[in-house]
Amino acid sequence: MAFRPKIISQIPKLSRIGLRRMSNNNYKKLEDQFVKPDLDDRSYRYIQLPNDLKALLIHDSKADKSAAALDVNIGAFEDPEDLPGLAHFCEHLLFMGSEKYPDENEYSSYLSKHGGASNAYTGSQNTNYYFEVNHEHLLGALDRFAGFFTCPLFNRDSTDKEIKAVDSENKKNLQSDLWRLYQLDKSLTNAEHPYHKFSTGNFITLHEIPTSKGIDVRKELLKFYKNSYSANLMKLCVVGREDLDTLSNWACSFFQDVPNTGRSVPEYRSRMLDERSLQKVIHAKSVKDLKKLEITFSAPDMDLEWESKPQHILSHLVGHEGSGSLLAHLKDKCWANELSAGGHSVSRGNAFFSVDIDLTDLGLKHYEDVTHVIFQYLEMLRLKLPEQWIYLELEDIARATFKFKQKSSAASTVSSLAKQLEKEYIPVKYILSTELLRKYDADLLMKYLHSLTPENSRIVLASNEMETNSKERWYGTQYRVTDFTPYLLKKIRNPGLNPSLHLPRPNEFIATNFQVDRIEGVVPLEEPLLLKDDKVSKLWYKKDDRFWQPRGYIYVSFKLPHTQASIVNSMLSTLYVQLINDYIKDLQYDAACANLHLSFVKTNQGLDITLSGFNDKLTILLTRFLEGLKSFKPEKNRFQIFKDKCIRQLTNQLYEVPYLQIFSVYSSLINERTWFVEEKLEVLKKLTFEQLVAYVPTIYEEMFFEAFVHGNMKYEEAIEVDSLVQILIPNDIRNFQAKNGRLRSYFLPQGETYRYETKLQDSQNLNSCIQHVTQLEAYSEEISAKASLFSQMIHEPCFDTLRTKEQLGYVVFSSSLNNHGTANIRILVQSEHTTPFLEWRIESFLQSFGEVLESMSDKDFEGHKDALCKSLTQKYKNMKEESSRYAAAIYLGDYNFTHRQRKSELVSQLTKEEMREFYHNSIVGPNSSKLVIHLQSQVKNDKLDESNLDATKYPAGESITDVGEFKSRLFLAPVRQPSKKFEVHTPRL
């Protein structure tokens, strides 16, 4: 389900009866002792309400955001066969008002006005609802949220509208290979098990078919809700600043009236993958240029073995990417580029283990040989396992990860815990620590491994050139099913051993030193220190003084002017980065297994390295990586494989859902040295290996870099990082302008509107997309503050008007948008409607918002300011969040490390009159400047009524037909300037 918009109204005054009920403690305490991470300062209580609903309450005295989630242990598997999508439809409808709060927009409005947001999803066996809100407003949010489960309205008008919303959500996914292949896999399983069902639903399943059969969907919905939403099947989780007694009383007061019908948790005893489903090859035709092999085994259900996790151990081994691994061998054979593996439980007694491989062109031709190698690897494991040291490694990693686990967002915390609580076979005191490995069970591991046989397997082979003879019902995916060939069966039943395959070596990156020298009473610095600033580099450093964790973060941003100087250099840089990541895959994977994360990416300024994780081995990892960069020599066969892969990736970008494509189009129009996907493809196809060989030695010429070291790391280690990176400098020639070589955006002429129209590459996609951007002026903190407040004010009304009321489409989004030197407001809509119609509706919304602004009370205006300021000044939840924010300021070059606090101060001073003036001058006035992008479907939809559209007015503005000519007429905006002058810091010895 779409992320609901953020928003508020006043907390209602509770009646005397309400106040009396709030103080009752008519609940049973089940647990208050939990296994927690070392630095978890929250307290927990698990209770049972009189109606058997169980709740986990979390007291967090420092929480900026409070949150709640409720998980119902009923999902799409309970859809009636003749009403696919009913559970998902029910999830949508619960947002649309309750007896106490009948306005269908009340819940989302309240959250948005108080810095909050909400969401929900329907799973196979659960439905999960959650929200977060500024901590002071938890009571009012819980009051509204509880109505979903005590007294929902299911109004007829809302029912009809949300059927269209569900249909739009489904249509968003119709051309998505992820959804298409998932549903195809489901459709070809045992029809006696509910896994085969179509769980999203659409207009046909929820309106046309039921109507033709005389079925009243609303009545069926009410019946489903009454039968399924029983209190004993619900788990609530709430986190707030209030003490546990208060939270417990609130939970009891608001949720004890949820009806308890005593319904038991559904069980599905049929075998999901029966004999008719196994030993088959499903040849599927993809929309994108995929080359994918997935082998799925019907495996034992290991959910009850949560302490030993045999499927986790096996996925670690099969998915390994280092020397001797399955992937390493397939890469040597030029058959594959990527591999993942994992086990998953579908329902009690039904589970599978899958190996998913991204094939090369050659690998697709040799898919039976690839399958043979998989079984050779499994055969090697059967002979070599069990090895307790592998379990102990994973146990150590899991223990360290849990011991030093940091907080995540309030919403994700409550949502995941509410779902976890459904696993009542896990003692609730361990619910925070389920990722730990607690028991070594060699026999169970071997039993699991021995179940992965040819007889228990099937294969999905996907490509856009597959021969097919059938069509899947819901997504129209073309496919063909064949039996395993005699040749394949013979090879995989007796796979033999492959000398290239062996167990991974012990992992050198597992941390052993977790020493942290904590200093009490320290006031955390808000900015890193500048340790060095010369012609070669800048070095920033911040010792962790906030979280006291044994973690580190190293960020290195290379300013390499010629990597983005031309489209040829840009594409050669893309290939270089992909080849480097392929070259150091072994190193990267070992590090990742030990929770050390290494990223090497291309940027619009050059290249970036980011490392994070336990600091014990972080500089060792950086050293090894830089040595790899230094020693790298391109190989012709890998060049061709990654050139083909990169061509596929770029081609596939043109087949993404429209709303994911449109920002790239916008960026190519508004930024210098930025190119369209089609232009990149044309150049990439012509690049040669010889060009890459000639280019690689020049990459680090004229290099300037900025490094940032943060965490449990010493000053001397920061200096070491700077000196280590300097091994890449090829000569002593310097480009003194390199440090300022940042990308810039173009200014649109004041008062002008431009439009860019283009057709979607995917001729079958029903949806168009429009991005309506109002360019404000050159970026400054002042204009950014106004844009952010305006975005806060229109966020919920935009969603409510265009998505809920006008039903334009499932994807509706608005935000402020800062480019490389300009500030902007954008509204994006993906819809079956034509883009001129969408432009009209967006313009109408913006025009009508003036009335909202004029009539907005001082209290509501101050509420919007308060919500935004509190969101801007939230405390850091974890070290990664703090590090990333500092790194972003370094990358932008403004070094505005406290920009959120500064923006909050500016927002707090804005007046309603200033915002009215901003609206009339910059948004709707004659001086407003706009760039509207129309990404248009090739499918004509004659069923939609657009008769009121004035075709003489929309599409508006001057059409951009020659992008180069358009850019050549525009001025460039200045890049952001440093917020202040930083002096080089010399530490006291």
Instruction: Output the pLDDT for position 302.
Output: 97
Residue from 867, 813, 810 nearest 845 by CA = 813
Whole-angstrom distance, CA of residue 602 vs CA of residue 579: 12
Instruction: In whole angstroms, give the CA distance from residue 631 to residue 624.
Output: 11
pLDDT of residue 25: 67
Confidence band for 224, pLDDT divided at 50, 70 and 90: very high
pLDDT digits (tens, 9 = 90+) for 706-739: 999 999 999 999 999 999 999 999 888 877 777 7
Q: Average pLDDT for residues 125-148, to the nearest whole number?
A: 97
The conformational region for residue 289 under phi > 0 = left, psi -120 to 50 = alpha, else beta, is beta
Instruction: Write down the pLDDT at residue 39.
Output: 87
Mean pLDDT of 149-163: 91
Q: What percent of the chain has pLDDT over 90?
A: 94
Per-residue burial over 41-59, b = 16 or more CB atoms within 10 Å of its CB, e = otherwise: ebebbbbebebbbbbbbbb
The CA distance from 457 to 453, in Å, is 7
CA 762: distance to chain centroid?
24
In 633-731, at which residue ranges do the beta strands (DSSP E only) sit?
704-711
- Domain 280-407+426-493, what architecture? 2-Layer Sandwich (3.30)
Which residues are catalytically annotated? 91
- Contacts of residue 420, defined as CB under 8 A and 6 or more positions apart, other chains included, come to 426, 431, 434
Is the separation of the CB atoms in 239 and 66 below 8 Å? yes
User: What pLDDT was estimated at residue 895?
Assistant: 96
The Cα–Cα gap between 107 and 131 comes to: 10
Confidence at 908, pLDDT banded by 50, 70, 90: very high
pLDDT number for residue 989 = 58
Every domain of the chain and the residues it spans: 28-256, 280-407+426-493, 529-740, 757-973
pLDDT of residue 826: 98
Biggest CA–CA distance in the chain, Å, is 84
Q: What angle do CA 714, 719, 721 make, to 5 degrees?
A: 95
Tokens 């069902």 sit on residue: 197
What is the reported pLDDT for 805? Answer: 93
From residue 45, alpha-carbon distances to 30, 54, 60 in Å are: 8, 11, 12
Which region among 158-167, 732-741, 874-883, 952-961 has the lowest average model confidence (pLDDT)? 732-741
Amino acid at 603: T
Q: What angle do CA 918, 924, 926 make, to 5 degrees?
A: 100
User: 368-402 pLDDT, tens per residue?
Assistant: 999 999 999 999 999 999 999 999 999 999 999 99
Distance (Å, whole) CA 125 – CA 268:
10
Secondary structure of residue 671 in the 3-state scheme: strand
Coil, strand or helix: which one is 611? strand
Q: Which of 724, 697, 709 is nearest to 536 (CA)?
A: 724
Model pLDDT for residues 69-93, shown as the tens digit of each residue:
999 999 999 999 999 999 999 999 9
Distance between CA atoms of 247 and 230, rounded to whole angstroms?
22
CA 555-557-559 angle, to 5 degrees, is 170
Cα–Cα distance list, 983 to 664, 730, 926 (Å): 38, 29, 45
Q: What Cα–Cα distance (Å) separates residue 579 from each residue in 568, 572, 639, 924, 971? A: 17, 11, 7, 49, 37
User: What CA–CA distance (Å, rounded) separates 902 from 905?
Assistant: 5
pLDDT at 460: 98
Two structure tokens written together for 547: 């979280």
* Average pLDDT along the chain: 94
- The least confident of 23-27, 760-764, 873-877, 985-989 is 23-27
The region that residue 382 occupies, defined by phi over 0 for left and psi between -120 and 50 for alpha, beta otherwise, is: alpha
What confidence tens digit (pLDDT) does each residue in 451-481 have?
999 999 999 999 999 999 999 999 999 999 9
Q: Give how far the C-alpha of residue 39 lies from the chain's centroid of Cα atoms, to the nearest Å.
A: 26
pLDDT given at position 334: 96
Summarize the confidence of residues 194-216 as an average pLDDT.
Answer: 96
E-assigned strand segments in 383-497: 457-463, 470-471, 478-483
In DSSP terms, 929 is beta-bridged to 775
* pLDDT value of residue 759: 97
If we measure between CA atoms, which residue out of 124, 128, 155, 152 comes closest to residue 259? Answer: 152
- With b meaning 16 or more CB within 10 Å and e meaning fewer, what string describes 263-302? beebebeeebbeeebbbbbbbbbbbbbbbbbbbbbbbbbb
CB contact at 8 A, 265 and 424: no
With a cut of 60, say whether residue 489 has pLDDT above it. Answer: yes
- Mean pLDDT, rounded, for 562-589: 95
What is the CATH topology of the domain spanning 28-256? Cytochrome Bc1 Complex; Chain A, domain 1 (3.30.830)
Q: Per-residue pLDDT for 787 more than 50?
A: yes
CA distance 482 to 468: 10
Q: Are 40 and 245 in contact (CB under 8 A)?
A: no
198 vs 202: CA distance, rounded Å: 9
Q: What is the DSSP letter of 746?
A: B
All residues at 6 or more sequence positions from 811 whose CB lies less than 8 Å from its CB, including other chains: 2, 172, 659, 769, 828, 829, 830, 831
Give pTM, 2 decimals.
0.94
In sequence order, what are the residues at sequence separation of 6 or more whose Cβ sits closer than 8 angstroms to the Cβ of residue 973?
A: 744, 745, 746, 747, 778, 779, 819, 820, 821, 822
Q: Which CATH number fits domain 757-973: 2.40.420.20, 3.20.20.70, 3.30.465.10, 3.30.830.10?
A: 3.30.830.10
What does DSSP assign to residue 982? P
Residue 782 pLDDT exceeds 50: yes
Asked whether the predicted pLDDT for residue 676 surpasses 60, the reply is: yes
Q: What does CATH list as the number for 529-740? A: 3.30.830.10
Kindly write down the DSSP assignment for every residue of 303-371, as one continuous string.
TT-TTT-HHHHHHHHHT--STTSHHHHHHHTTSEEEEEEEEEEEETTEEEEEEEEEE-HHHHHTHHHHH
The pLDDT of residue 19: 35
What does the alpha-carbon distance between residue 935 and residue 902 come to, in Å, rounded to a whole number?
37
Neighbours of 512 (CB within 10 A): 9
Q: What is the 3-state secondary structure (H, E, C) of 254-294?
A: HHCCCCCCCCCCCCCCCCCCCHHHCCEEEEEECCCCCEEEE
- Beta strands across the sheet bearing 929-936: 811-818, 822-831, 768-778, 929-936, 753-759, 958-959
Domains 280-407+426-493 and 757-973 share a fold: yes
